[in-house]
Amino acid sequence: MVAVGAFTTGATTVTKPDPTPLGRVVPAPASVRPGGSPYRITEATVIRVDDTPKAHRIGEYLADILRPSTGYRLPLVNRGGSGIQLRLAKGSFGAEGYRLDSGPRGVVITAGEYAGLFHGVQTLRQLLPAAVEKKSVQHGPWQIAGGTIEDSPRYAYRGAMLDVSRHFFTVAQVKRYIDQLALYKINELHLHLSDDQGWRIAIDSWPRLATYGGSTEVGGGTGGHYTKDDYREIVRYAASRFLEVVPEIDMPGHTNAALASYADLNCDGVAPPLYTGTDVGFSSLCVGKDLTYRFVDDVIGELAALTPGRYLHIGGDEAQSTSHEDYVKFMDRVQPIVTKHGKTVIAWHQITGAHPVKGALAQYWGLDDTDAAEKAQVAEAAKNGTGLILSPADRAYLDMKYTEDTPLGQDWAGLVEVKRSYDWDPGNYLAGVPSSAIRGVEAPLWTETLETGANIDYMAFPRLPGLAELGWSPASTHDWDTYKVRLAAQAPRWDALGIDYYRSPQVPWPAR
């Protein structure tokens, strides 16, 4: 339902929509103080930015969103005054926080760092009518409710993983997903670049990894891979949206594409055929061969050189074909290679069964009912200093079916409707884990059953915004009954952006 105000001109009563309430955004802001008259964007509005290249880029990003739908010029200027102002200032904003002040003379977004300005822009977008996202001129009015929002994230790590190995997705498709993530203040893009079904990044020292190992995908399609320039473009584009790319090379299991590409990586020197199925746990690098570690060093070295971000993910899950002794030996030898190349280790939570190096992060993907001993192992590592990223599969995995009738996805972790995906607290999810060990959350999207951008949309939305909120918003704002109303209000925006989504019966969607 859209709130409206009314006024009379002669014999005609004209209605106009009220501005979106300041608190009706996702993720929920930390503090909202509504009050005062709204600001209206008109043909006279300008966007005022600090005279720095980064500030100009954020201002142009905002203008590029607003110009097509409003039809206004919205020039960027450096001097102060009315309009929309983006400014850096000292304050207690943190690395990503911001304040948004709106009144009749304008909107001011203030932050201590550029990431905060960018996140403030995402809030401003959501305070405008959904039609602002369209690429042709729309009817206004373009109003922002009066008042103040003060906001900063609960967790520093707020991620989404896209599996490009089971099915390959183009640079353009990845960029589109980045734009969707940015709208909800996600700041980490985890790219699953290698698996049994495909190797997706060019490595100069081992060229067949991409040209042969990347030549297929689940179901036997043609696959594909990113050249180094492709990958650099993904990294650049993500950085322009204040996301950091976290590349993953899964090991010692999930390695059939590599083993098929180079026979010498196999213990018996015989290359297996390329694999296009969906089974897991059958492949392993040869832990006893020195060549294995030269291979790992080469791959990690080249990938680290391409990646300006802090992290490099080494997988480590479902290594059923590697003995526990060999798994520990492998991880003890590989982790120092990652740190040698200047990156922080991330691995799936099975790394806690080995010896996580100082500073390493373990990504938990277990279930609510995962074996207590496994959870205790993770908790013990957390107590000893290993940070945790939470991705419980029966809560956060975006490839799980919503219901038995969902045409895409899997159900090995259960059916995950929108409420279940949202209704848990990262701060107390794992018993025995100190809250200080939780670095954040991540929403993985595995693609065994996903082949198109529309498939990504349908499985990510509407669950992705809720997981973004778990990472950003204070625990005090966590409430399903109020969240589902805010979530429903996002639907017209997704329609305007061309995002196909699942219309869950748990959410009070507006009529189309």
Q: Which residues are catalytic?
A: 318
How many CB atoms neighbour CB 436 within 10 A? 9
CB 204: neighbour CB atoms within 10 A? Answer: 9
> 231 to each of 57, 183, 195, 303, how far by Cα in Å?
21, 22, 17, 10
Beta-carbon count within 10 A of 114 CB = 19
Asked if 343 and 310 touch (Cβ cutoff 8 Å), the reply is yes
Name the phi and psi angles at 445, rounded to 5.
Answer: -130, 100
Tell the residue number behind the tokens 């699953």, with chain if given: 192
The full 3-state SS of 21-78, as one line of letters, equals CCCCCCCCCCEEEECCCCEEECCCCCEEECCCHHHHHHHHHHHHHHHHHHCCCCCEEC
Distance CA 88, CA 100 (A): 12
Please tell me what DSSP assigns to residue 149. E
Distance CA 376, CA 364 (A): 12
Calpha distance 49→32 (Å, rounded)? 24
Which of 312, 355, 58, 42 has the alpha carbon at shortest distance from 191?
A: 312
Q: Which of 130, 127, 134, 132 is nearest to 109 (CA)?
A: 127
- CB neighbours (10 Å) of residue 20? 20
b/e string for 352-380 if b means 16 or more Cβ within 10 A?
bbbebbeebbbbbbbeeebeeeebebbbe
Element (H, E) at 123: helix 114-127
